[in-house]
Amino acid sequence: MVTDDEWVRIRRGLRFGQVFEGTVVRVPRPGATGIFVDIGLGVGGFVDVLLLPEQGEDWPTESTVGEFEIWWADDRRQIRLKPSDPRYLCHDFADYVERFRPSWPLDVGHPVHEPNPRS
């Protein structure tokens, strides 16, 4: 696990939509939870179930190597990703973005926001 200072340093170099090659390292419950992806930054990468195909058998399996984009990062020391490959992206991604994250097209390329200060 990275320290607070390391996490702040890593986040400073991240931009929404930034693409990383990653390896799927864990698929705990296909179709139910999401997948864990190693993108080589020392912090975990995760793709939420809502961004993956509805059917778990259509998800990438462990050891799958592919491209993943930074979708979000907050103070949890985990980088939220979205698959770049449309085979592994939910079929209604455009509708999802419109409903839940309409700023996504404008966010792409901008720095990931600083985490909330801890009290």
Per-residue pLDDT of the chain (119 residues; tens, 9 = 90+): 789 899 989 999 999 999 999 999 999 988 889 999 999 999 999 999 999 999 999 999 999 999 999 999 887 889 999 999 999 999 999 999 999 999 999 999 999 976 554 43
Neighbouring C-beta atoms of residue 82, cutoff 10 Å: 22
- Specify the DSSP class assigned to residue 94: H
**CB contact set of 31 (below 8 Å; sequence gap of 6+):** 49, 54, 55, 56, 57, 59
Q: What pLDDT does residue 53 have?
A: 96
Residue 82 three-state SS: strand
Note the pTM of the prediction, 2 decimals. 0.91
Question: C-alpha angle with apex 42: 114 to 71, nearest 5 degrees?
Answer: 50
Q: What pLDDT does residue 101 have?
A: 94
Ordered structural domains, the chain, with CATH: 4-103 (2.40.50.140)
Q: What pLDDT does residue 92 have?
A: 95
CA distance 112 to 25: 24
**In a 10 Å sphere around its CB, with 0-12 CB exposed, 13-18 middle and 19+ buried, how is residue 110 labelled?**
exposed
